[in-house]
Amino acid sequence: MGEFFASYGLFLLKVITFVVAILIVIFAIVIASSREKKGGSSGRIEITNLNEQYDDMQEALSFSLLDDEAQKLALKDKKTEEKVERKAQKAAAKKAKKQRGDGETVVSEPAKHRVFVMDFDGDIRASDVENMRREISAILTSATEDDEVVLRLESGGGMVTSYGLAASQLDRIKDKQIPLTICVDKVAASGGYMMACVADKLIAAPFAVLGSIGVVAQIPNFHRLLKHFNIDFEMLTAGKYKRTLTMFGENTEEGREKFLEDIERIHQQFKQYVDTRRPSLDIEQVATGEIWSGQDVLDYSLADELSTSDAYIMKRCDDAEVIRVKYKKKKPLSERFSIGIQNTADGLLMRWVDRAFKARFNIG
């Protein structure tokens, strides 16, 4: 009997220890999350030198194609080159220091032009504009008229106000007289094209879709359904056109006409915005809501060149320092913890499904 109670007590102690450990972890997450909310910046700007990235890729591929003896020689040559380069940099720094000490003008090599690369992946709310506005602010702190900004843009459009803000953010680059190139590999339609037309140079991949210069709005109406169940809906407004169409009330012809008038006004603003930034195109011909791709994009002056963003950026690496700028949000500890749990659960589920599938069909 005493042995039973001893075993039971040990089991109970383990359970209590496990529960306390879980509570401590949860408490730590809550405390850390509250501190993060009180803190300042919720993210950081990440800088990637694409010249070095491409050079590393080329070097790795070339090295892998060599035989063992050639690889040893290549490694030896690389170490020698790095040693000579470090020695030259040290000598140059020492010379510059001496020149400054003697009051002489320090002559340095002319700096390469810089190309700053950003990415915008648009959804219906243009959510990525929050990251892009920070990236643009970071670039404008050091970019000059001799530099260039390249935006890789993908968007099928969305809310007018959100994409209007996104396009206005790109106008900040133009206001500083910094050349702006926008590359579209897949789609820049509607609000996406509103952003794309800001570019000094607009490059589209051969099968990328551009255009859709129009405005659309749709709203369901449940008035007849509510009427069928004898449900009344009341809406009180101040102002004749405070609400033109509604989901639950009975819509009137006057309300529809006013709603269409509002849409047409927004469309005219859209057309004017595009026409101002791309005067070479016939705005009345392209502002029909249609989309184009391939040679038609050039024929209608919707873009200036057919190419992929990869080809353009690799070409710029030949004569410029190409830098990718990305704002990365710092996720709260609680969110990272929940994502980790979710990913672990998803992984376990997929492994069990995979095993069950293989067992069912005798695979592997």
Nearest alpha carbon to residue 192 among 155, 234, 219, 224: 155
Nearest alpha carbon to residue 206 among 191, 184, 190: 184
CA distances from 248 to 38, 235, 252 (A): 42, 9, 12
β-strand pairing of 180-189 with 209-211: parallel
Please say if 190 is a catalytic residue.
yes
Query: Which residues partner with 184 through β-bridges?
Result: 153, 204
Using the CB atoms, write b or e for 55-94: b if 16+ within 10 Å.
eeeeeeeeeeeeeeeeeeeeeeeeeeeeeeeeeeeeeeee
Instruction: Provide CB contacts within 8 A for 255, sequence distance 6+.
Output: 243, 244, 245
Give the rounded distance of the alpha carbon of 225 from its chain centre. 42
Query: Which residues partner with 324 through β-bridges?
Result: 48, 117
What span, in angstroms and rounded, lies between the C-alpha atoms of 276 and 74? Answer: 55
Set 37, 38, 240, 242: catalytic member: 242
Please say if 168 is a catalytic residue.
no
Set 155, 162, 190, 293: catalytic member: 190
Q: Looking at the annotation, which residues are catalytic?
A: 190, 242
